[in-house]
Structure formats: structure tokens, C-alpha cells
Structure 1
Amino acid sequence: MSKQVVVVGGGVIGLLTAFNLAAKVGQVVVCDQGEVGRESSWAGGGIVSPLYPWRYSPAVTALAHWSQDYYPQLGERLFASTGVDPEVHTTGLYWLDLDDEAEALAWAEREQRPLSAVDITVAYDAVPVLGPGFKRAIYMAGVANVRNPRLVKSLKAALLALPNVTLRENCQITGFVQQGGRVTGVQTAEGVLAADEVVLSAGAWSGDLLRTLGLELPVEPVKGQMILFKCAEDFLPSMVLAKGRYAIPRRDGHILVGSTLEHAGYDKTPTEDALESLKASAVELLPGLEGATVVGHWAGLRPGSPEGIPYIGPVPGHEGLWLNCGHYRNGLVLAPASCQLFSDLLTGAEPIIDPAPYAPATRLG
């Protein structure tokens, strides 16, 4: 295919969409209003699993399972080609004192995932720094986390090395260009950028951009705040999650604790209230963090969507326009499968999974 494809949005979804398409189309241009990958892709924790996978629909589960299985080889491939290691770090994950433990275990049996109840003493033996008072635990082996800022850097380096890919950072898209009912490009501050196909992967901003065509896409910004500690490299051997808050160990001893869930429009200002709340959760989970220095505190905007199901596929009535957006809390989790499915659809290949649940045609108002 000798088409020119313009991808609007340079987060992990947009970058990986471009990476998958580059071998199959003529030219790919990625436009981002800022620096690529600096919004929710940079801000998230990078757990390669939905926080509570049993609470999601089969549509999210299908993407999550494919992505979880694929992530290690994606990390290796990017590291080998760029020298930037995304650090796909397999630690497993303990959930503590869940209200819906029975549902979690039933889901694991139904989906044949390696999640099981363990005696609480097993959790304390495995994670000696865990706080006191927890009564029950379930554990899923094989759950990894990816160091999302490094994943972004690795994807960017991989794309910059490809002769048919162009990255246009600080490129504000104000709307779409149409001719005869077909979308034929995007309007930028520097003028029109023509395209055979346009992909909207603009995260929390996707709904605003689609509204310029008179279409309502129920994707809205949902703020999340995180904090980062620095500890010894062996301080936390596994990810842990309790009362809606999680702690994620990086290989070098950094510990991420998150996150808040706030509807505050496009405001990304970190707040003192959230900092104190996250610190309290951190110390309750891991008392050894008491007095530890917070080396980072930031906020990002998730692309909130109904049931967290992304929109993947062509936009009806607007030939040439495609969506790959609305991943809510699971953009990093679902990215490999979402972007492979998207590439399959755009190029006419056999889709890796049934695309029907994500189709804009049945879900746009």
C-alpha cells in the first residue's frame, strides 16, 4: 500500500500504531500537540494488566490477554533495535483484602489465568515490607510492568530510524479536511497536511477533535496523580494493590504509588491533598516508605470512555477517518493488541481478535 497515513496523537497508542503501519503503507506522519509520549503515556504506572481484570467486559479482556502475552517480545524487539530498554519487568501482583475475591477467582478459572488465593503468610513471606493487618491475598504470577517513559523513548527511537516515518512534535491539529464526504487530511497551524487515511489517537483530546466534525465521542479527560519514591533495588519484590492503591517496583529501586481518579477537565496541576493521600496509602501498604523522599509527584489525563472499551476502526460516514482511542485506564495495557488490531483493519489483514466490540459504527452517537 502506497498510502500516506497521518496519525493524530503521539502517545503510546499513536506511536505503536505508526510502528505497526510503517512496514505496510507508504508514508506515516505522527503529529502531536506537544512532545510525543508526554501525556498519559508518560504519567501512568505501566502495570501490564487492568487493576481489577475481572471487573471488565470480555472486550477489554480479549485485548489485555493478547497484549500481556506479547509484551515481553515487544520489549526485546525494541531494545534490540534501539538500545533503549522499555524494562518489561515481571514481578507478579498481590491483591490484598478484596471485597470481590470470589468473582476474581471465578474469572481466573473461566479465563484460565494464573490467579489464585494464597495464605496471607505467603504474601508476607514474599513481600516482607508489606504493612501489618492484611487478612487475605490473591496472587497472579507473570504480571509485568513496563517502564512507560522508556517505552515511549524506545518507540520514538524506532520510528526515527524508519525512512518512511515522520514525527511532527508541537504540531497543533485544529480540525479535519474533507472533500466529497471523505476526510483527506488535517488542518495544522502551518497549513493542511494531506493524507489518504487519518487516524485519531489523541487520548483525552480525541473527543474534542471529533466534535469539529459534529460527532460525539464520549471520551473525556480523567485526572490521575502519582508519586515516586527511591529505595534499595530489592526493597519491593512484587507489585501490591489494596484499597484501590498500588505500588509498582522498577528494577532500579524506584517505587511508584498511585493513583487518584479525578474529573477536573484538562487541569493537570498536582495537588497537596492528593500528595498527602498517596503518601498515606504508600505508608499503609509499605511502612518502610515512612520518611522516604518523594522524588516525583505528577498528574496525567486518562482518556475516559464508557466501560473503558476503546474505539478501534473506521468512522462511519467519514471515509478515510479512523479511531484508535478511548483506552481510559488501560492504554499501556492494551496498546499492543489495539494497535495490531487497528493495523489489521486498515490494511485488510485477518484481525487478531473480533473487531466488533470496538467498532465506532455501532458505538458513536
Structure 2
Amino acid sequence: IIAAGCFSAGIEGAAAYAPVRPAKGQMVAVRPPGPAIKRVLWSEHVYLVPRTALPGEGGRILAGATVEYTGFEKSVTPGAVQSLIEAAIALAPGLAGVEILETWAGLRPDSPDHLPILGPTDLEGLFIATGHFRSGILLAPITARLLRDWLTGESRSLDADRRPSLDTSPFSPLRFGNSRDAASGLS
């Protein structure tokens, strides 16, 4: 199973099945000056996630995230932090005057069509599970279940021909026109 996130394409021969690239996402955690928001808020430019305060702390809100194609570079930039803060205040004006608690950046695996790459390949025994982009945490349970069923042959989510009972063809590693020949380093 190749499940190396944005590093999957770097495995010799794997790029034929997992043509992913890293998408940097910068985030900022803030402490609001007044009462915190109570639920997740989402706009075109930012999402805000309230977090439960630790004992002795006030509320904390996560604001994210940028999408940048900068290779494997993960630095946090003042411009991105400022853009996230401005978008957060536009979405929730009560956040004006927030205190920045923490900033960070991470890398997400993005496929050419922005869909996960999931399933068996034309090399016997080789499965791919990558390219989940911004939904990796959300899709982890179904990804694990499908892989388990493909690998064990159990029928919980497979039909009689060992195909998923839901249509996974949009996520097939073979959708990029790749083949065994292109992945010769894996055979």
C-alpha cells in the first residue's frame, strides 16, 4: 500500500499511479477579545473552528487555511497570516483585535483532479491511498474500510466480484492513464 501523502509520488515508480503534489496550507490559532464563536463558520476565503479552552485559558479559534503550491516548503508567511486574520474578521466581526497564539503550515497531498487516489492498481498486490487533499481526516475511516475489504476479500463493503458496493471508479489509481510500464520501478 502506498499511502505516503504528498510524498507518494516520490516513491520510485509510484508517480504513475499517485501523481500527487504538496499543497501548503497555513493556519493561525487566535484568542478572541470577547466571547468566542460557538460553531464552525465557513466562507470562500477562510474557515473558523472554535476549540475548547484548556483550564485557565480563554477560548481559542483556528483560522485556515491557505492553499499554495510551493513544493515541500512549509514556512509561515506574514502575508498569509494577515490574509487569514482579515478574512476571519470579515466573517466574524467580533474577532477584531484577536491575539495570535500560534501559526503553522502543513502539506496536503493534491491530485491533478483534486480527488483522492484510492484502490488497486494493475500491479498485483499494489494499492494506493493518497491524494485526499483537504479531506484526509474526514475520509480516513472509509479509506481504511475499503482498503481492509480489498486486502482481505471481506464483503462488508465489497460485492461478489470484490468490487466496492459504492462506486469508487472516480478515485481509481488507473484514471490517469498509467500502467505497469510507467511504474516499472515498482515491479
Amino acid at match of 1:298: W
Structure 1 residue 257 corresponds to structure 2 residue 63: yes
Match of residue 201 from structure 1: 3
TM-score normalised by structure 2 residue count: 0.79
Match of residue 105 from structure 2: 299
Q: How many residues align structurally?
A: 164
Equivalent residues in 2 for 1:74-223 (5 A)?
A: 199-209=1-11, 212-213=12-13, 215-216=15-16, 217-223=18-24
Inter-CA distance 296–348: structure 2 relative to 1 (3 Å threshold): same
Match of residue 240 from structure 1: 41
Taking the aligned partners of 1:285 and 1:233, their CA distance within structure 2 comes to: 15
Aligned-pair CA distance for 1:231: 4.1
Structure 1 residue 361 corresponds to structure 2 residue 164: no
Unaligned 5+ runs, structure 1: 1-198
- Would the aligned equivalents of 1:341 and 1:355 in 2 still touch at CA under 8 Å? no
Unaligned 5+ runs, structure 2: 54-58, 158-164, 179-187
Deviations 1:176-209 (A, max 9, x none): xxxxxxxxxxxxxxxxxxxxxxx11111111111
Inter-CA distance 234–353: structure 2 relative to 1 (3 Å threshold): farther
Inter-CA distance 227–313: structure 2 relative to 1 (3 Å threshold): same
Structure 1 residue 288 corresponds to structure 2 residue 94: yes
Taking the aligned partners of 1:206 and 1:239, their CA distance within structure 2 comes to: 31
Taking the aligned partners of 1:263 and 1:312, their CA distance within structure 2 comes to: 22
Equivalent residues in 2 for 1:18-33 (5 A)?
A: none
Aligned-pair CA distance for 1:270: 0.4
Amino acid at match of 1:226: M
Structure 1 residue 268 corresponds to structure 2 residue 74: yes
The structure with more helix, counted as a fraction of residues? 1
- Would the aligned equivalents of 1:215 and 1:364 in 2 still touch at CA under 8 Å? no
- Would the aligned equivalents of 2:21 and 2:111 in 1 still touch at CA under 8 Å? yes
Inter-CA distance 308–314: structure 2 relative to 1 (3 Å threshold): same
Match of residue 228 from structure 1: 29
The alignment-based identity, stated in percent, is 37
Inter-CA distance 246–267: structure 2 relative to 1 (3 Å threshold): same
Higher relative contact order (CA 8 A, sep 6+): 2
Inter-CA distance 286–225: structure 2 relative to 1 (3 Å threshold): same
Aligned-pair CA distance for 1:321: 2.2
- Would the aligned equivalents of 2:33 and 2:98 in 1 still touch at CA under 8 Å? no
Aligned-pair CA distance for 1:362: 3.8
Amino acid at match of 1:360: P
Structure 1 residue 346 corresponds to structure 2 residue 145: no
Which residue, 330, 349, 362 being the options, matches 2:135?
330
Taking the aligned partners of 1:230 and 1:238, their CA distance within structure 2 comes to: 15
Taking the aligned partners of 2:167 and 2:91, their CA distance within structure 1 comes to: 39
Taking the aligned partners of 2:42 and 2:79, their CA distance within structure 1 comes to: 21
